[in-house]
Amino acid sequence: MKFRPLHDRVLVKRLEAEEKTRGGIIIPETAKEKPQQGEVIAVGPGARGEDGKIVALDVKVGDKVLFGKWSGTEVTIDGQDLLIMKETDVMGIVE
């Protein structure tokens, strides 16, 4: 299935959570928090400004981004768990 977000929305795939702490302690599956970092899979064309023109998004496909813990709507597309969120929910791009 192909999916194209509308307006200023982005489709993000969460990156996998760390299996161990820095000290080497293995974190059980039940204790893991959902990662707040992901990779942008698809982006919409942008939001309309007050003048009616489309304002392009700052994020692009392939960017690694940080987002809030409760940001976005979880969806399953082609068996993958993904998030759809507005660009304003993205806190920044990881370089």
Query: What are the boundaries of each domain within the chain?
Result: 9-94
3-state helix vs strand vs coil in the chain, percent to 5: 5, 40, 50
**In this structure, are residues 37 and 15 in contact, taking their beta carbons and an 8 Å threshold?**
yes
Q: For residue 37, is pLDDT > 60?
A: yes
Mean pLDDT calculated for residue range 30-35: 60
CATH 2.30.33.40 fits 9-94, yes or no: yes
**Each residue of 48-67: pLDDT tens digit?**
888 888 888 889 999 999 99
Residue 68, phi-psi category: left (phi > 0), alpha (psi -120 to 50), beta (remainder): beta
Model confidence at 14: pLDDT above 80: yes
Coil, strand or helix: which one is 82? strand
- Least confident residue range of 17-26, 37-46, 75-84: 17-26
Q: Please, are residues 69 and 37 in contact by the beta-carbon 8 Å criterion?
A: no
Top-confidence residue, 48 or 18:
48
